Amino acid sequence: MKLEQLHALFLEHPIICTDTRKITENCLFFALKGPNFNGNEFAKDALEKGASYVIIDEQQDESIANCLLVDDVLETLQKLSIFHRNYSTAKIISLTGSNGKTTTKELINKVLSKKYNTIATKGNLNNHIGVPLTLLSIKNDTEIAIVEMGANHKGEIAFLSNIAQPDFGYITNFGKAHLEGFGGVEGVIQGKSELYDYLISNDKYAFLNADDDIQRNKLGHYIKKYGFSTERSDYYNIKFIEANPFVVIEVEDKKIETQLIGKYNFSNCCAAILMGKYFNVPLEEIRTALESYQPKNNRSQIIDKNGFKIILDAYNANPSSMNVALENLKIMDAKNKALILGDMFELGVDAEKEHQAIADLAKSIAFKNVFFVGENFYKTSTSFRKFKTFDDLKEVLVQNPIKKGTLLIKGSRGMALERVLDFL
């Protein structure tokens, strides 16, 4: 079947499923493969559950109707998404970065949806499968699509950019994330900058944080750019007021009081403001959007529970985000500060050094009540309490509860530190 024909079929059945546990009536099921599964084996099951057609790359029983055989299901999904992206009239905004991608995406979507029909990446479906699925969620009336792009090695953002073909792009920051795959911080900068490389080579528009020297230098004299700054007069000026604990911003003499904690969220808000201004969203609407946004999914959530004010930031962690989280807690006006910090993943040969750096930072800030959990933190040289496993931590905290106050919980997704909430 030609790509044009498959796209015509998709327009008749515009829902894509890749998991038979989530089949929707009349969808197209793409039989993807993974290290531990083969979607081809579930083709019949998908049809029985309501899929209209299944796209396979391994021949099935010929008695099973509505199976479309292709050379490679994943490649077909990606090519279909590119075809649909070019079929659509929607403008594409792509964003990447080491920290804050998902929050920034949500904020941009919140702002731009005040004036436009928008869609945005769901959750963090930002890889070689998630980006195509996002593009295929663009409807006829979609005016702007915000596409998050993640990467853990060089070349990945370039690949995703060629799929999404963004009209606009933004990089949140360059931090110590996925050091193992990128081969160090310089590798992170090169890898994330592939988005700007795509925009420049295709004469597209770049948004930037002009206070970030790397971004500003990378774009250099490139004309098609629009940035924000706290000080530079040649960029759109946005002022940081405070983050105690919530970020307060001033723009064009208007104060915006967000429900986001930590100064590290200031630039995320600025990106949404900047794009709102570019797309002519009234400033009052931008303010309403930002002030109404509440973080969720374990990302910088504020939770009041049993006398604790909990900063739950257990969705992910890397040395850069861990550092700013500790610095933010340091300046907060709060009593009885405590920290439960879990291992940071994908650091490779830098793991020991980076975990020790966080332990040293916690000591230098003079935090008293600190609990480390995970194999890497367990290896650190520190006087703070440390536990190899979550169960070891739980056993101690159940018997010796933390004094009620302000508690930061942060670690990589695999640590699942939100489980702490169950026994506080």
Whether the per-residue pLDDT at 128 is higher than 90: the answer is: yes
Please tell me the distance from the alpha carbon of residue 149 to that of residue 126, in angstroms, as a whole number.
5
Paired strand residues for 342: 373
Indicate the length of the chain as a whole number.
424
Q: What is the pLDDT of residue 187?
A: 85
Q: What is the pLDDT of residue 234?
A: 92
pLDDT per position as a tens digit, 23-59 = 999 999 999 998 888 999 999 999 999 999 999 999 8
Please tell me the distance from the alpha carbon of residue 69 to that of residue 50, in angstroms, as a whole number.
19
Helix (H) or strand (E) holding 85: helix 73-87
Please tell me the distance from the alpha carbon of residue 257 to that of residue 248, in angstroms, as a whole number.
5
pLDDT confidence bin for 360, thresholds 50/70/90: very high
pLDDT confidence bin for 383, thresholds 50/70/90: very high
Q: Kindly state the average pLDDT of the residues 339-349.
A: 93
Q: What is the pLDDT of residue 105?
A: 96
Please tell me the distance from the alpha carbon of residue 341 to that of residue 345, in angstroms, as a whole number.
12
Closest residue by Cα to residue 280 from 41, 121, 112, 408: 112
Q: Which amino acid is at 221?
A: H
Residue ranges with strand state E in 137-294: 144-148, 168-171, 205-209, 225-229, 236-237, 239-243, 246-251, 254-261
Q: Which amino acid is at 51?
A: A
Lowest mean pLDDT among 32-36, 215-219, 338-342: 32-36
Q: What is the pLDDT of residue 289?
A: 98
Write the DSSP symbol of residue 230. Answer: S
Whether the per-residue pLDDT at 188 is higher than 90: the answer is: no
Query: Which tokens hold the place of 224?
Result: 């098609």
Please tell me the distance from the alpha carbon of residue 148 to that of residue 403, in angstroms, as a whole number.
39
Helix (H, G, I), strand (E, B) or coil at 32: coil
Whether the per-residue pLDDT at 369 is higher than 80: the answer is: yes
Please tell me the distance from the alpha carbon of residue 86 to that of residue 67, in angstroms, as a whole number.
26
Q: Kindly state the average pLDDT of the residues 343-370.
A: 93
Please tell me the distance from the alpha carbon of residue 77 to that of residue 73, in angstroms, as a whole number.
6
Q: Kindly state the average pLDDT of the residues 85-107.
A: 95
Whether the per-residue pLDDT at 370 is higher than 90: the answer is: yes
In terms of DSSP bridges, do strands 225-229 and 308-313 run parallel, antiparallel, or are they unpaired?
unpaired
Q: Count the neighbouring beta carbons within 10 Å of the beta carbon of residue 353.
A: 10
Helix (H, G, I), strand (E, B) or coil at 214: helix
Closest residue by Cα to residue 313 from 94, 97, 109, 102: 102
Q: What is the pLDDT of residue 230?
A: 96
- Domains, the chain, ordered by start: 3-70 (3.40.1390.10), 88-292 (3.40.1190.10), 301-422 (3.90.190.20)
Q: What is the pLDDT of residue 147?
A: 98
Mean model confidence pLDDT for the chain: 93
Whether the per-residue pLDDT at 1 is higher than 90: the answer is: no
In terms of DSSP bridges, do strands 337-342 and 308-313 run parallel, antiparallel, or are they unpaired?
unpaired
Q: Which amino acid is at 29?
A: F
> How many Å from the N-terminal Cα to the C-terminal Cα in the chain?
57
Helix (H) or strand (E) holding 118: strand 118-120
Please tell me the distance from the alpha carbon of residue 411 to that of residue 424, in angstroms, as a whole number.
17
Lowest mean pLDDT among 61-75, 230-244, 389-403: 61-75
Contact indicator for 154, 182 with CB cutoff of 8 Å: yes
Q: Is 140 exposed, middle or buried (0-12, 13-18, 19+ CB in 10 A)?
A: exposed
Helix (H) or strand (E) holding 364: helix 351-365
Lowest mean pLDDT among 15-24, 57-66, 127-136: 57-66
